[in-house]
Structure 1
Amino acid sequence: MYTGTAVFDLLLPGDSRSLKAKRSYVRPIVAALRKFEVSAAEVGALDLHGRAQIAVAVVASETEHVSTVLDSCERLIAGRPEIELLSVRRRLHGADD
């Protein structure tokens, strides 16, 4: 069994100055990520306007599947024209970790 995580650091548009506006960008992204059958949530930069961190976690029996799912999640986020993907941090854990 392998688990993989990815944390996406996002720059949101300038009109996301309120928390309500920020949620209007984050919620659809998290909902779209869940179609890959992963756990997804906003995990950081909660009090910063214009910034967000979204994390994704996946469990699979093979490392290739974990990598494929995380790649798909990254493409989905990077393909959204209204946000800028600043960085991605990935980790893979195996049974021996």
Structure 2
Amino acid sequence: CVFDRLGPKPIALVGAVLLLVGYSVLAFGAVGAFHLGSEVAVCAGFLLGHGSAWAQTSALVANAANTHPARRGMVIGLLQANFSISAAVYAQVLAIFFPSETSTGT
């Protein structure tokens, strides 16, 4: 396994680079630096998905390895819950700071 050979830092770095490239492509396309077609947006989304997975895996395994076995399940559960609920939190932040760009449901 790559993680067992290299440890969490290189895996987190790969995740960070993938996230940086994915978000940069979307940001530059959004401000009009280039035409952001659907193919480019899908590729950026692919990079974002993989970057998130690499970063989350690195954090998950590093924390599980450094936690007492009796508390390992709780640590993994909290990390997974945090990752899962973050979309709801960011949606609320978006609605607060950019109210004209979010749907009100009416």
Higher relative contact order (CA 8 A, sep 6+): 1
TM-score (norm 2): 0.27
Choose 1 or 2 for highest CA Rg.
2
Higher helix share: 2
